[in-house]
Chains A and B, each alone.
Chain A
Amino acid sequence: MHRDLVERAMAGDHDAFSELARVSIGRLYAAARLILRDPQRAEDATQEALVAAWRDLSSLRDPERFEAWLHRLLVRACYREARRGRRRWAIEMDIRPSDRIEPGIEPDPAAALADRDEIERGFVRLDQDQRTVIVLHYYLGLTLDEAAVALGVPPGTVRSRLHRANRILRAALAVDAGPVTNESRRLA
């Protein structure tokens, strides 16, 4: 992130903020889609995060921390969106069959990507805290300390959430690699 752009935006230069938003918006939206699993809510969360960034930019004390601060705003916006639509989200979760095939996704011939469906099945079993930490760490590439800042929780909490999330994902991979049991179907 260009420090001079951040400093200009902090000083109220909307053009500079526009450039920062243009550079950031793609990854913010993608992260929000992964966290919220809902295109419309991801749009709303991304928009809310960037508007909050512009509105509250004077509270940022160190321009070098703009990106981390933006991640934190996005995480907050995602939680807000999820809370706003908790009921709808729960219904969506409930109707997902454990062994559904996503329309339009062709089987991948590569062995490494053969786990795609299994990972997805595990991913939808994660709660929002776990999904968020997975996205921050494995998609945005944040260290655990950076993820802790974005989440506003201690690093120890991030580690325990990540551990639980990985355990669920690994279990999904292991279960789905073997015979499908009634138990695993109920979990989905």
Chain B
Amino acid sequence: MTARDEYDRHLSAWLAAEAPAREPEHLLGEVLARTARTRRRPAWRFAERWIPMSTITSRLAPAAGIPWRPILVAGLLLIALVVGALLVAGARRQQLAPPFGAAANGQIAYSVNGDLIAVDPKTGTTRTIVSGPESDSGPVFAGNGSKLAFVRGEDGNRQVWAAEADGSNPRKISGPFAKYPGWVEWSPQADVVAVEIDEDAGRIRMARADGSGETVLSTGLTAAINPIFRPSDGNQILIRGHASDGTWGLYLMGRDGSNLQRLALDPGFQSDPAYQQHRDDAFWGAAWSADGRTLLYHTPESDGPSTAGFGFRIHMATIGPNGEVTSDKALVFDAAHDDEFDAAFVPSMDAITYQSAAGGVFQSWRTSLAPGATPVALGPQALDVIGRVPSPDGTSVLLVLGGTVTRVDLATNTSTPFTAATDVSWQRAARSD
């Protein structure tokens, strides 16, 4: 036995002797009591959830023509009704936010004890917008700010509901499911909610927001997760898919499930030494630019351009209208970071935010994409993945750090504790200018 072997043996023996023989008797019971009353975090609240914003012009539904008829009074009444309806609809449309890109700040919603609360970020005034005996959580505002989706019920009977943004007219749109949906995503027009649940291997539910039913899109993949609508018209959906050959990839398909195709991203990724060991971590965090032409994602890389060895690196790719990849490059902001991931465009589209991990410490960043730009750290460091919810006007960001929420003012980079649960969603509102 070498001196080194002996040293190793002594050290292992000392650690084994020093370690307590068993845990305190009460500890397991306390853990299980806490887990039994702990709500599981939905997958969409993890790093991959936060997506970019972009601009869209609402498409007006063509107004029905009014046929002229001999009965003049009735005709005039009809015309008056139609004109009135158009005025009301027009006024409503004017109040809608563009679903992508910069918008004005609306209310911030989150759950408290099974009810949904909304706070006005300017005044701090809070009000309950959805309440009742059921357990409601996970609010998600539509991109145009007009509606709200949320999850109702407990495990064994989870349902997706929709309501107007003020909480009125709540209606079930999908479910029941055995457990929390993995992903809930509004279409730009706020007419459909894409729902991903674990039981639906390779399928995405398109639940109509008026509660009239849902269409199930079958992709033929063994898993289809994280559906996001492509700006600006939402006629295509991007998903993270798992194929029968065991590989994950990002796929584009029509909103009706047609023309599914794998995006040819990160050429040669399967020859990366890190790939075989970390193949299930490939192609996460997809996020579109406002115009739907640029796609951000992160994927494992071995040494490559990094000095920190294996880790997540952010990619920026240019995608043509039919899914053709015209460019794809890795962005490395600090080669010493173990990981850089979870990138998204800021609402004004002139910068991106992302987060890094180094030595088990996580940090959010914002950086311009101009050559030579230096990333600026956002808010405090954390020992866990940081969730980011940008304000629609791009002036601040909510950081979800562990069980707390912190608001960071981007002009001064000052952090202020913000009273809210971690399932926070920020409504987009129409700008007055």
Which residues of A are in contact with B by a Cβ distance under 8 Å? 11-12, 14, 17-18, 21-22, 25-26, 28-31, 33-34, 39, 43, 46-47, 50-52, 54-59, 61-62, 75-76, 79-80, 83, 112-113, 115-116, 119-120, 123, 134-135, 138-139, 151-157, 166, 169-170, 173
Alpha-carbon distance between A51 and B27 when the two chains are bound, in angstroms: 12
Q: A21's closest neighbor in chain B, by CB?
A: B31
Are B179 and A55 in touch, CB under 8 angstroms? no
Which residues of the partner chain A approach B383 to less than 8 Å between Cβ atoms?
A: 76, 79-80, 83
Q: Does B46 count as interface, using CB distance less than 8 angstroms?
A: yes
Q: How far is the CB of B307 from chain A (nearest CB, A)?
A: 9
Q: Does B359 count as interface, using CB distance less than 8 angstroms?
A: yes
Q: Which of A18, A59, A116 contacts B43 (CB 8 A)?
A: A59
Q: B19's closest neighbor in chain A, by CB?
A: A30
Q: Does B431 count as interface, using CB distance less than 8 angstroms?
A: no
Which B61-101 residues have C-beta < 8 A from chain A? none
Q: Mark B1-18, 1 if CB is under 8 A from A, else 0.
A: 000001111111111111
* Interface contact tally, CB-CB below 8 A: 143
Using known A-B contacts A58-B42, A153-B338, determine if residue A29 contacts B9 with beta carbons closer than 8 Å.
no
Alpha-carbon distance between A119 and B12 when the two chains are bound, in angstroms: 11
Q: How many residues of B contact A (CB 8 A)?
A: 52
Q: B242's closest neighbor in chain A, by CB?
A: A61
Q: B18's closest neighbor in chain A, by CB?
A: A34
Which residues of the partner chain A approach B14 to less than 8 Å between Cβ atoms?
A: 113, 115-116, 119-120, 123
Which residues of the partner chain B approach A134 to less than 8 Å between Cβ atoms?
A: 11, 15
Which residues of the partner chain B approach A151 to less than 8 Å between Cβ atoms?
A: 359-360
* 28 A-B pairs whose Cβ atoms sit less than 8 Å apart in the complex: A11-B178, A12-B178, A14-B36, A29-B24, A29-B27, A30-B19, A30-B23, A39-B20, A39-B24, A43-B27, A46-B27, A47-B27, A50-B31, A51-B31, A51-B35, A54-B35, A55-B41, A58-B43, A61-B280, A80-B383, A113-B10, A113-B13, A115-B10, A134-B11, A135-B15, A138-B15, A154-B338, A173-B7
Which residues of the partner chain A approach B180 to less than 8 Å between Cβ atoms?
A: 12, 58
Q: A30's closest neighbor in chain B, by CB?
A: B19
Alpha-carbon distance between A112 and B7 when the two chains are bound, in angstroms: 10
Using known A-B contacts A115-B10, A138-B12, determine if residue A47 contacts B34 with beta carbons closer than 8 Å.
yes
Q: How far is the CB of B246 from chain A (nearest CB, A)?
A: 12
Are B12 and A55 in touch, CB under 8 angstroms? no
Are A11 and B38 in touch, CB under 8 angstroms? no
Alpha-carbon distance between A22 and B27 when the two chains are bound, in angstroms: 10
**In the complex, the 10 A-B pairs of residues with the closest C-beta atoms, listed nearest first:** A30-B19, A29-B23, A152-B360, A54-B35, A154-B309, A139-B15, A12-B179, A119-B14, A58-B43, A50-B31
Are B41 and A56 in touch, CB under 8 angstroms? yes
Q: B309's closest neighbor in chain A, by CB?
A: A154
